[in-house]
A and B are shown apart, each in its own frame.
Chain A
Amino acid sequence: MYATLWRLIPGPVWLRILIVLVLLAAVLYLLAFFVFPWVDQMTAPAQEVTVDR
């Protein structure tokens, strides 16, 4: 899978590495500010710090 992706990226090696780093940064940004907050709300434990009957 990742080997195929690597082959699909055009350009010499240094450019490929640059493209991969940019893509990684974009993915991490989306995760940190959009995906993870959403997952956090979805998976929130019902009761963890409160007393309840």
Chain B
Amino acid sequence: MTDSVQGELRRPRRRKRGLVSRIVGVFGELLITAGVLVLLFLGWQFTLNGVMLSNQQASDADQLIDGWQSGGDDAVPAPAAPATDGTTATPAFAYGEPPAPAGEAAPGDAEEFAVVYVPRFGSDFKKTIAEGVDPRSVLNKGGAGHYTSTQMPGEVGNFAIAAHRDGWGSPFLKINELQLGDKIYVETQAGWYTYTFRGLEYVTPYGVGVIDPVPQVPNAAPTDRILTMTSCNPLYVASERIIAYSVLTDWTPRSAGAPAEISGLVGA
């Protein structure tokens, strides 16, 4: 198509639109643009940003694991001989009591210090756990955050973590699909802590009792080793919190190799 045809087809432009009409026209186009930008942003949050955060999480987790594996086993206490005489306190772990995390330096603010695996969330689900639950520096990175006031993995008491389920990679999207007996693995320098899912609870955003050492029993002396996961509920509304409780049922020192269910993800 040539310019001359274009020129003939084009109708003569009306000269001199009224000033008000032009201003209103520009204003309308700006509003439409703003609307398109908002829709683009929402689309970006749930697609591209989720993919980018998930990729970043995977590479962060791999980097942590690599560091632990190259760190050498001498940093990890030798595992106790498997208990066979039944004299160990319940719950009896095949490799004895998990080591106290005292030897390891406490993680700094927003520092990634553990990796969590939840096969129920997906066969390749692997996210980091960072210190603190600040949205900007921790949770919006697409991983989980550790409530600083709670215990560390494997400790007697409550290891409480939080993560998004409606954006920012939606790590805990399927938290409501956990089933009794599902395994949740937390990996640290020392090895793998195997938690077994026990049940869900729904609380208000102020239900801080769920991260007590004995959940919902203030000032009680803990005996169990609990993992508490918190996220928002209902999806996209977040007027409540969904809580998933699990209890430590096993632990595997690094020298013994990863539990079979997640060994393919650890990359050892």
Query: Is B30's CB under 8 angstroms from A32's CB?
Result: no
The interface size bin for chain A is 20 to 34
A41 to B134, CA, bound (A): 12
Query: Is A44's CB under 8 angstroms from B140's CB?
Result: yes
Within 8 A of A (CB), among B141-181: 145, 147, 162-165, 172
A53 to B49, CA, bound (A): 30
Within 8 A of A (CB), among B34-70: 37, 40-41, 44-45, 48-49
Residues of B within 8 A of A31 (CB): 37, 40-41, 44
Query: Is A52's CB under 8 angstroms from B205's CB?
Result: yes
Residues of A within 8 A of B45 (CB): 36, 40
Query: Is B205's CB under 8 angstroms from A51's CB?
Result: yes
State the Cβ distance, A38 to closest chain B Cβ, in Å.
11
Residues of B within 8 A of A41 (CB): 136, 140
Nearest opposing residue in chain B for A14, CB measure = B1
- Give me the 4 closest cross-chain CB pairs, A-B, nearest first: A50-B162, A1-B29, A1-B26, A50-B133
State the Cβ distance, B41 to closest chain A Cβ, in Å.
6
Query: Is A13's CB under 8 angstroms from B6's CB?
Result: yes
Query: Is A48's CB under 8 angstroms from B49's CB?
Result: no
Query: Is A49's CB under 8 angstroms from B232's CB?
Result: yes
State the Cβ distance, A29 to closest chain B Cβ, in Å.
11
A37 to B48, CA, bound (A): 11
Known: A1-B26, A51-B205. A44 touches B136 (CB 8 A): yes
